[in-house]
């Protein structure tokens, strides 16, 4: 059962900052990360992603797929899912066993990690392109492209040897090809259909300001937090009037547990120059009504003002009452 899955292996190219992962092209892919600690101990992790949303996971204790969304099964029947689970169980067992046997052949040294990514991508014209890549210790090793195994230049002779070896396992190659070119496209299309409402939602961000640690004496770090938005693309900038502040530093767009996103944008400024700055947020959910938050005329200021004004009113009434009372007494 060898490399059955060796082929499947692949690595994870960290998708980096997938700023514009949506809307097109959109892909479904499975990432695998296998850690080999010593000659008898290895651990597999796998997860399935639709664009930047994790929709499936792998429970390696029970050998079952975890469906993280109500729509993650697409239109796959329970029997088909049981079949896939069986295939993945065999794959992970076979993968670990084969890698452990090939350790000396491939001059690997414990501990090491193998990563893989495999999936298919829907392009705007409707074409679906499949891909599979493998990496050892984060270094690109091989990929499968147009039905052939391509050793990565970084993979050296090891990768060439691997690609030559895998060709001898016709059965495994057929299974992998079927998964990549038939099962994956069907799953991708059906899950896009089933999850349409969730995928096409637009959720408005909330934004708030805070002060970060002072970068140096006399300076302030202004922090603009933007949270709870979907989809991922967002524009956040510190402004002075209509002027963008190019020193604005954007953090990574981070996931919230509810499939929305969080981003912070910071600006270091001389303390005296902070007033008049504002944080501006543009997002598809806002329909052109940008969020603008001003630094300086903060809500604290408004609360103090409100309290002050109410005190004044109470005082005024009191004075009036007192005056009236006084006047009545005068009359009496």
Ligand X SMILES: *[C@@H]1O[C@H](CO)[C@@H](O)[C@H](O)[C@H]1NC(C)=O
Q: Which residues sit at the interface with ligand X, rule CB under 6 A?
A: 37-41, 75, 146, 186, 189-190, 193, 276, 294, 297
CB-nearer residue toward ligand X: 37 or 322: 37
CB-nearer residue toward ligand X: 176 or 253: 176
Q: In the bound complex, what is the minimum distance in angstroms from residue 294's beta carbon to ligand X?
A: 4
Q: In the bound complex, what is the minimum distance in angstroms from residue 112's beta carbon to ligand X?
A: 14
Q: In the bound complex, what is the minimum distance in angstroms from residue 159's beta carbon to ligand X?
A: 19
Q: In the bound complex, what is the minimum distance in angstroms from residue 10's beta carbon to ligand X?
A: 19
Q: How many of the other CB atoms lie within 10 Å of CB of 331?
A: 6
Give the pairing type, strands 291-294 and 112-122: unpaired
Euclidean distance between CA atoms 313 and 63, whole angstroms:
70
Q: In the bound complex, what is the minimum distance in angstroms from residue 256's beta carbon to ligand X?
A: 27
Q: In the bound complex, what is the minimum distance in angstroms from residue 77's beta carbon to ligand X?
A: 7
CB-nearer residue toward ligand X: 43 or 256: 43
Report residue 34 as tokens.
């296998």
Q: In the bound complex, what is the minimum distance in angstroms from residue 149's beta carbon to ligand X?
A: 13
CA dihedral (113, 98, 44, 92) in degrees, to 10, reads: 150
CB-nearer residue toward ligand X: 84 or 90: 84
Please measure the distance between the N-terminal and C-terminal CA atoms of the chain and give it in whole angstroms: 110
CB-nearer residue toward ligand X: 43 or 62: 43
Helix (H, G, I), strand (E, B) or coil at 277: strand
User: 246 near 261, Cβ under 8 Å?
Assistant: no
CB-nearer residue toward ligand X: 81 or 189: 189
CB-nearer residue toward ligand X: 37 or 317: 37
Please list, in sequence order, all residues whose beta carbon lies within 8 angstroms of the beta carbon of residue 121, skipping any fewer than 6 positions away: 25, 26, 27, 128, 129, 130, 131
Euclidean distance between CA atoms 225 and 250, whole angstroms:
10
Buried b (16+ CB within 10 A) or exposed e, 99-132: bbebeeebebeeeebbbbbbbbbbeeeeebbbbb
Euclidean distance between CA atoms 301 and 63, whole angstroms:
57
Q: In the bound complex, what is the minimum distance in angstroms from residue 146's beta carbon to ligand X?
A: 4
CA dihedral (18, 19, 22, 27) in degrees, to 10, reads: -10
Place of tokens 């002050």: 308
CB-nearer residue toward ligand X: 240 or 250: 240
């Amino acid at each position: 059962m060898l490399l059955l899955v060796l082929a499947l292996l692949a690595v994870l190219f960290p998708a980096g900052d997938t700023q514009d992962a949506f809307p097109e092209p959109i892909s479904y892919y499975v990432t695998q990360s296998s850690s080999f600690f010593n000659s008898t101990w290895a651990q597999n992790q796998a997860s399935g992603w639709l664009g930047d949303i994790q929709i499936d996971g792998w429970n390696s204790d029970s050998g079952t797929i975890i469906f993280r969304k109500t729509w993650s099964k697409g239109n796959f029947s329970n029997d088909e899912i049981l079949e896939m689970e069986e295939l993945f169980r065999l794959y992970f067992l076979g993968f670990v066993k084969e890698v452990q046997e090939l350790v000396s052949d491939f001059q690997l040294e414990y501990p090491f990690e193998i990563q893989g990514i495999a999936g298919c991508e829907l392009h705007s014209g409707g074409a679906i392109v499949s891909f599979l890549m493998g990496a050892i210790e984060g270094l690109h090793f091989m990929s499968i492209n147009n039905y052939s195994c391509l050793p990565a230049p970084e993979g050296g002779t090891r990768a060439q040897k691997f690609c030559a070896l895998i060709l001898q396992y016709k059965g495994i190659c057929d299974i992998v090809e079927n998964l990549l070119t038939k099962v994956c496209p069907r799953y991708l299309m059906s899950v896009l259909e089933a999850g349409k409402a969730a995928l096409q939602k637009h959720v408005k961000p909330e934004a708030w300001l805070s002060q970060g640690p002072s970068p140096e004496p006399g300076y302030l770090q202004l922090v603009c937090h933007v949270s709870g938005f979907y989809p991922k693309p967002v524009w956040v900038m510190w402004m002075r009037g209509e002027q963008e502040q190019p020193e604005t530093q954007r953090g990574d767009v981070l996931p919230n547990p509810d499939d929305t996103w969080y981003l912070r944008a910071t600006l270091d400024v001389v303390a005296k120059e902070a007033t008049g700055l504002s944080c501006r947020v543009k997002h598809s959910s806002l329909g052109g009504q940008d969020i603008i938050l001003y630094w300086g005329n903060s809500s604290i200021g408004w609360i103090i003002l409100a309290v002050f004004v109410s005190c004044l009113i109470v005082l005024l009434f009191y004075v009036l009452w007192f005056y009236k009372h006084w006047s009545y007494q005068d009359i009496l």
